[in-house]
Amino acid sequence: MKGKTHAEEAAAFIKDDARTHWHDETLWHVRSNRDRSAQGIPEWETLRDTASATKDYVLSHLGELLEQFESNAKANGVEVLWAKDAVEHNQHVYRILQENKVSNIVKSKSILTEECGLNHYLEKKGYDVVDTDLGERIIQFAKQTPSHIVLPAIHLKKQDIGEIFHNHIGTKEGASDPNYLTEAARQHLRKKFVEANAAITGVNFGIAETGGFVVCTNEGNADMGTHLADVHIACMGIEKLIPRAADLGVFLRLLARSATGQSITNYSSHFHRPAEGKKMYIILVDNGRTDQLGREDFKNSLKCIRCGACMNTCPIYRRSGGHSYNYTVPGPIGSILSPGRDLKKYSTLPFASTLCGSCSDVCPVKINIHEQLYKWRQVIAEHTNMDRSKQLSMKVAGMTFGKPVLYDLAGKVARTALKYTPHSLVYSSINVWGKHRDLPEVPEESFKEWYKKNRKQ
């Protein structure tokens, strides 16, 4: 990050008014689909309670569940590796590729590998990593990062995509018909699938009881990749566990509905063991997760199943775009995950919210996102010297509000000043409120003054 605040990034995005409204409408449409779909489930709130309680259990028994998962997976013939951070994770992947003499890699969408910067790392080692999720491939061509965890290219219009495809896979110039573009991408990716010797996937759910794991995609690209290649590397954050296979139904029902409004993702693929003559690896990645688990106020954020619903519902995300957050996971959940990674760098994200609470109510695992945003604000104000002038004004406000006489006086002074200050000065550039909004009209007297005159016996 170049040290830009969320507000600056957001203001830049918003300059293109038409695009902002298009972005907002598109995501609102997804949120509306989600609402309609959830309305069809009478036990929706019970499902959320159940999912939340299950994840609570996972977080309080993480150590033993991980061990259970590891031993079951090993018994199934899967090689299990542990990575304490992104570097270790990437090194594991590299070593596996070397050992298996892999030359061509296909990858299905994984936010974890994005978090670890895997593509970049492998490219430097000379590998061409092909993302096979359509949205992911688009932004890979455009040399961008995903702006959304479920809809990585949601910030791009079909015209943008037409141009990107024209430049990279030779579609007709100016073509923007989604059918045509999708077909072209399909042909392009088919070749990559056939050539691949290793497939990298993320993991949506790891099941401690069986050692198996589930990968959800809408395009079937994870299945295509893993079926064709001889090596499957699954990268999994340690919080992705669920205790039993029987818990899966709750999460699969919630995940797709919360994400897009579908009843279930098109492909929910279960992996247990490598096929004859093939190899399967699972890398269990910490990368800051146990630190977050140790933060009592914030550990709940690890329940996240990455459905993206909090982004779709967030009125700020919808209007500022995912890139304004400058973090792998943007939006409300990203704003409570990122300060744990780097308090200074992400110090403006917990403030990129009106604390409207929509994220918490939409979240299928009931993460108290907006309360955590509030709590991060207190931590940030305490531990970073973010904004001296803000700190001072808050200190003065605190003092004034502590003393009724001072408060009454300050109120009167402010009202009088507003009344008699020339318009041009009130609406000068230092008055941020007044750039696009009028100030309230100044009343003759405050309520307190009126009350003293009219009511006090």
Site for other proteins in 258-317 (CB under 8 A): 313, 315-316
Give the span between the Cα atoms of 7 and 159, in whole angstroms. Answer: 28
202 interacts with ligand SF4 by CB under 6 A? no
**Cβ count near 416 (within 10 Å):** 11
Cα three-residue angle 419-399-417, rounded to 5 degrees: 10
Number of residues near other proteins (by CB under 8 A): 75
* 345 in contact with other proteins (CB under 8 A): no
Cβ distance to ligand SF4 smaller for residue 199 or 310? 310
CB of 130 to ligand SF4, least distance (A): 26
CB 297 within 8 A of CB 375: yes
| Binding status of residue 93 toward ligand SF4 by CB under 6 A | no
CB of 341 to ligand SF4, least distance (A): 16
**Interface with ligand SF4, residue 10, by CB under 6 A:** no
The stretch near other proteins (CB under 8 A) out of 84-92, 116-124, 167-175, 395-403 is 395-403
Strand order in the sheet with 205-207: 241-242, 205-207, 213-217, 267-271
Which of ligand SF4, other proteins, none is residue 276 near (CB under 5 to 8 Å by kind)? none
The rounded distance, in Å, linking the Cα atoms of 191 and 132 is: 11
Angle at 131 between CA 129 and CA 137, to 5 degrees: 125
- 303, 333 Cβ separation under 8 angstroms: no
Phi-psi region of 326 (alpha: psi -120 to 50; beta: other; left: phi over 0): left
Q: Binding to other proteins by residue 124, rule CB under 8 A?
A: no
325 lines the binding site for other proteins (CB under 8 A): no
Residue 438 partner contact from other proteins, ligand SF4, none using kind-dependent CB cut-offs of 5 to 8 Å: other proteins
Any contact of residue 58 with ligand SF4 (CB under 6 A)? no
Sole binder of other proteins in the list 45, 64, 85, 99 (CB under 8 A): 45
Residue 388 CB, nearest approach to ligand SF4 (Å): 33
Q: Is 22 in the site for other proteins (CB under 8 A)?
A: no
The only residue of 38, 234, 305, 349 in contact with ligand SF4, by rule CB under 6 A: 305
351 binds other proteins, rule: CB under 8 A: yes
Cβ burial, residue 443 (10 Å; 0-12/13-18/19+):
exposed
Binding mask 367-406 for ligand SF4 (x = CB under 6 A): x---------------------------------------
Q: Are 372 and 301 in contact (CB under 8 A)?
A: yes
Q: Does 310 bind ligand SF4 (CB under 6 A)?
A: yes
Residues 6+ apart with CB under 8 A from 93: 118, 122, 200, 233, 235, 283
SS3 label, residue 344: coil
Cβ contact 299:372 at 8 Å: no
User: Whole-number minimum distance, CB 252 to other proteins, in Å?
Assistant: 18
Contact set with ligand SF4 (CB under 6 A)? 258, 304-310, 333, 362-365, 367
